[in-house]
Structure 1
Amino acid sequence: MHHLLGFVKASLVLFIIVSTLGLATNAFSQTSDLDFLPKNQDYNPDIPTPEEVFGYPIGTWHMRHDQLLTYMQVLSEKSERVNVSVIGKTHEHRSLISVRITSPENQSNIDEIQAKHLKSIQLGESAKSDAPLVIYMGYSVHGNEPSGSNGSMLIAYHLAASNSDEVKNLLAQNIILLDPSLNPDGMARFAQWANMHKSKNLVSDPSNREHKEYWPSGRTNHYWFDLNRDWLLLTHPESKARIAQFHAWRPHIVTDFHEMGTDSTFFFQPGIAARKNPWTPNQNVTLTSAIAKFHAKALDDAKKLYFSEESFDDFYYGKGSTYPDAHGSIGILFEQASSRGHVQESINGLLTFQDSIQNQVTTSLSTFAGAFANKAAILAYQREFFEDTKKLVADDKFAGYVVTRGKDATRFERMVNILQSHKIKLEMLSEDIDINGTQYKAKQSIYIPFDQAQYRLIRSLFSERKRFTDNTFYDVSNWNIGLAFNLPYEQVKSSLSRKLALSTWQASTQQNIAIDSDAYAYAFEWFDSSAPALLQSLLDKGVQARVAGSDFTALTSSGEVKFARGSVVIPNALTQPSEVASIVSSSAQKFNIRAYNIQSGLTSSGSDLGSRSLAPVTSPKVLLIGGIGTSSYEVGEMWHYLDTRVGLPVTIWDMRDLNNRDVDRYTHIFFASGSYIKINDGTINKLEKWMNRGGVVVGQKSAVAWFARLGWINNQPLSGEAINSSFSTDDMQYSDKQALGAKKLIAGAVYKSKIDLSHPLFFGFERDILPTFKTSNGVLRATDNPFEDIATYIENPLVAGYSADEMQALIKRSASVVVNKKQKGAVIGFVDNVHFRGYWDGTNKLSANALYQTPLL
Structure 2
Amino acid sequence: MSPSEFLGYELGTQFTRHHEVVDYYQYVAKTLADQVQLHEYGKTNERRPLMVAYLSSAGNMADLENIRTEHLKNTTGQGAPSKAIVWLSYNVHGNESVSTEASMQTLYDLLTVEKDYLDNTIVIMDPCINPDGRDRYVNWYNQYKNSPNNVDPNSKEHHEPWQSGRANHYMFDLNRDWAWLTQVESQQRLKFFNKWLPHVHVDFHEQGVNNPYFFAPAAEPFHEVITDFQRDFQVTIGKNHAKYFDANGWFYFTKEVFDLLYPSYGDTYPTYNGGIGMTYEQGGSGRAGLGIVTRIGDTLTLKDRIAHHHTTGLSTVEVASKNAKKLNTEFKKFYQNKDFKYKSYVLNGDADKLGALTELLDQHEIKYGSGNNGTVKGYDYKTGSNGSMRTTEKSLVVSTDQPRGTLVKVLFEPKAKLSDSVTYDITAWSLPYAYGLDAVGTTTAVNSSGFVPQSEASMTLDKDAYAYLTDWSSMNDARFLADLIHRKIRVRYAMKPFVLDGQRYKRGSLIITRGDNSANKEFLDILGQVAKKHNKDLTATATGFVDDGKDFGSTYVQMVPDIKVAVLTGEPTSTLQFGEVWHFFEQQLHYPVSIIDSEYMNNIDFTGYDVLVLPSGWGYKGFFKESRLKDLKEWVSNGGKLIAMGGAIKGLTGEDGFGLKPKESEKDSSVNVQAYDETERDRIKEAITGAIFKTKVDTTHPLAFGYDDTYFSLKLGADAYDYLDSGSVVYLEEGHTSPISGFAGSEAQKKIAQTLVFGVERHGSGSVIYMVDNPLFRGFWENGKLFFANALFMVN
Identity score, percent: 29
Q: Which amino acid aligns with 1:402?
A: V
Measured in 2, the distance between the counterparts of 1:286 and 1:726 equals 44
In 2, Cα distance between equivalents of 1:441 and 1:92: 45
SS in 2 for 1:424: coil
Q: Secondary structure at the match of 2:319?
A: helix
Shift of 1:200: 2.2
Classify 1:579/1:191 alpha carbon distance in 2 versus 1 (closer, same or farther; 3 Å). Answer: same
Question: Which of 731, 734, 754 does residue 792 from structure 1 map onto?
Answer: 731
Q: 1:710 to 1:190 in 2, by over 3 A?
A: farther
Q: How does 1:170-319 map to 2 (within 5 A)?
A: 170-272=117-219, 274-319=220-265
Q: Residues 65-103 of structure 1, C-alpha deviation per residue, up to 9 Å, x if partnerless?
A: 222222211111111211001112222232221110011
1:385-396 map, 5 Å: 385-387=334-336, 390-393=337-340, 396=341
- After the TM superposition, which of the residue ranges 824-833 and 735-744 deviates more from structure 2? 735-744
1:414 pairs with 334, 352, 356, which one? 356
1:424 counterpart letter in structure 2: I
Deviation at 1:283, TM superposition (A): 2.4
Which stretches in structure 2 are left out of the alignment for 5+ residues?
381-386
- What is the number of equivalent residue pairs in this alignment? 779
Identify if the C-alpha distance between structure 1 residues 692 and 391 changes in structure 2 by more than 3 Å, giving closer, same or farther: closer
Of 447-456 and 261-270, the range deviating more from structure 2: 447-456
The answer for the alignment partner of 1:83 in structure 2 is: 37
Q: Counterpart in 2 of 1:832?
A: 773
Question: How far has the Cα of 1:462 moved from its partner?
Answer: 2.4
CA deviations 1:342-374 (Å, max 9, x no partner) are 221113511122221121111111111222233
Equivalent residue runs for 1:398-547 within 5 Å? 398-406=342-350, 409-431=351-373, 433=375, 435=377, 439-465=389-415, 468-494=418-444, 497=445, 500=447, 502-547=448-493
1:206 maps to amino acid = P
Pair 1:626–1:480, CA change in 2 (3 A): same
Distance 1:493 1:284, change over 3 A: closer
* 8 Å contact from structure 1 (residues 472, 739) kept in 2: yes
* 1-structure distance, mates of 2:544, 2:656: 43
4+ long deviations beyond 6 Å: none
1:717-738 residue CA offsets vs partner (Å, 9 max, x unmatched): 135xx37x45977363111101
Aligned counterpart, 1:703: 648
Q: Partners in 1 of 2:636 and 2:144 — Cα distance?
A: 42
1:383 maps onto 2:324 in alignment: no
The 10-residue stretch of structure 1 (818-827 or 305-314) with the greater mean CA deviation from structure 2: 305-314
Give, in angstroms, the shift of residue 484 of structure 1: 0.8
**Alpha-carbon contact 2:466-2:543 (below 8 Å) kept:** yes
**Which residue in the other structure is 2:295 paired with?**
347
**Is residue 2:531 matched to residue 1:588?**
yes
Name the aligned partner's letter for residue 427 of structure 1. G
Q: Do 1:708 and 1:715's aligned partners in 2 also have CA atoms closer than 8 Å?
A: yes
User: 1:227: how far off?
Assistant: 0.7
CA-to-aligned-CA distance 1:711-768 (integer Å, 9 cap, x gap): 654332135xx37x45977363111101111222212111111001111001111x21
Query: Aligned in 2, Cα 1:74/1:729: closer, same or farther, shift over 3 Å?
Result: farther
Tell whether the 8 Å contact from 1:712 to 1:820 is kept in structure 2 after alignment. no
Question: Structure 1 residues 450 and 728, CA, compared in 2 at 3 Å: closer, same or farther?
Answer: farther
Report if aligned partners of 1:751, 1:772 keep a CA contact under 8 Å in 2. yes
Letter in 2 for 1:350: T
The DSSP-based 3-state class of the residue aligned with 1:773 is: strand
Measured against aligned partners, the alpha-carbon deviations of 1:605-639 in whole angstroms (never above 9, x if no partner) come to 22111111111222221111121221111111111
Corresponding residue to 1:579 among 518, 522, 526: 522
Answer with 220-229 or 55-64: which moved more.
Answer: 55-64
TM-score, normalised relative to structure 1: 0.87
Shift in Å at residue 478 of structure 1? 1.2
* Counterpart-to-counterpart distance in 1, 2:657 and 2:397: 47
Alignment root-mean-square deviation, CA: 2.1
Residue 695 of structure 2 is aligned with which of 743, 753, 769? 753
Q: Equivalent residues in 2 for 1:662-681 (5 A)?
A: 662-674=605-617, 675-676=619-620, 677-681=622-626
Does the Cα contact within 8 Å between 2:629 and 2:657 map onto a contact in 1?
Answer: no
Question: Residues 158-213 of structure 1: CA distance to partner in whole angstroms, max 9, x if unpaired?
Answer: 233x1x4x41x321211000011111111121111111112322111212222111
For the pair 1:121 / 2:75, whether they are aligned, the reply is yes
Counterpart secondary structure, 1:176: strand
Mark the runs of 5 or more structure 1 residues left unpaired by the alignment: 1-47
Q: Within the alignment, does 1:609 sit opposite 2:552 as a pair?
A: yes
What is the letter of the counterpart of residue 65 of structure 1?
A: H
Tell me, yes or no, if structure 1 residue 59 matches structure 2 residue 4. Answer: no
Alpha-carbon distance between aligned partners in 2 of 1:711 and 1:445, rounded to the nearest angstrom = 52
Q: Which amino acid aligns with 2:91?
A: S
Structure 2 match to 1:771: 712
* Structure 2 match to 1:692: 637
1:98 maps to which of 44, 48, 52: 52
Between the aligned partners of 2:30 and 2:453, the Cα distance in structure 1 is 43
Q: Contact (CA 8 Å) 1:62, 1:150: kept in 2 or not?
A: yes
Question: Whole-Å Cα distance in 2 between the matches of residues 438 and 139 of structure 1?
Answer: 47
Distance 1:237 1:849, change over 3 A: same
In the aligned structure 2, how far is the partner of 1:333 from the partner of 1:434?
Answer: 41
After the TM superposition, which of the residue ranges 353-362 and 458-467 deviates more from structure 2?
458-467
Which one is further off, 808-817 or 460-469? 460-469
Give SS of 1:605's match: coil
* Residue number in structure 2 paired with 1:549: 495
| Equivalent of residue 369 in structure 1, options 318, 321, 324 | 318
Are the structure 2 counterparts of residues 728 and 803 from structure 1 closer, same or farther at C-alpha, using a change threshold of 3 Å? farther
Deviation at 1:777, TM superposition (A): 1.1
Counterpart residue identity of residue 340, structure 1: A
* Letter of the structure 2 residue corresponding to residue 109 of structure 1: D
Report if the CA contact (8 A) 1:466-1:802 is conserved. no
AA of the residue aligned to 2:420: D
Q: Which moved more, 1:84-93 or 1:213-222?
A: 84-93
C-alpha separation between the residues in 1 aligned to 2:42 and 2:451? 26
Per the normalisation by structure 2, the TM-score is 0.94
Contact 1:513 1:596 in 2 (8 A): no
Question: How far 1:432 sits from its partner (Å)?
Answer: 5.0
2:758 pairs with one of 797, 817, 836: 817
- CA positional deviation for 1:430: 4.1
Following superposition, the deviation at residue 294 of structure 1 comes to: 1.5
**SS of aligned partner of 2:654:** helix
Quote the residue 1:26 is aligned against.
none
Is 1:156–2:107 an aligned residue pair?
yes
- Which residue does 1:23 correspond to in 2? none
Q: Deviations over 1:452-488 (max 9, x none)?
A: 2333322222233376321101111111111111110
Aligned counterparts, 1:18-97, within 5 A: 48-79=1-32, 80-97=34-51
For structure 1, which segment, 675-684 or 822-831, has the greater mean C-alpha deviation from structure 2 after superposition? 675-684
CA contact (8 A) 1:136 1:251 kept: yes
Q: Which amino acid aligns with 1:104?
A: A
Could you tell me whether the CA contact under 8 Å between 1:466 and 1:799 is conserved in 2? Answer: no
CA distance in structure 2 between the aligned counterparts of 1:523 and 1:665, rounded to whole angstroms? 31
2:721 corresponds to: 780
Bigger mean CA offset, 693-702 vs 706-715: 706-715
Change (3 A) 1:360 1:700: same
Partner-residue secondary structure (3-state), 2:515: coil
2:658 pairs with 1:717: no
How big is each residue's C-alpha offset from its partner over 1:668-687, in whole Å with a ceiling of 9 and x where there is no partner?
11112222212232222221
Instruction: Assess if the C-alpha contact under 8 Å between 2:77 and 2:332 holds in 1.
Output: no
Structure 2 matches for 1:610-649, cutoff 5 A?
Answer: 610-649=553-592
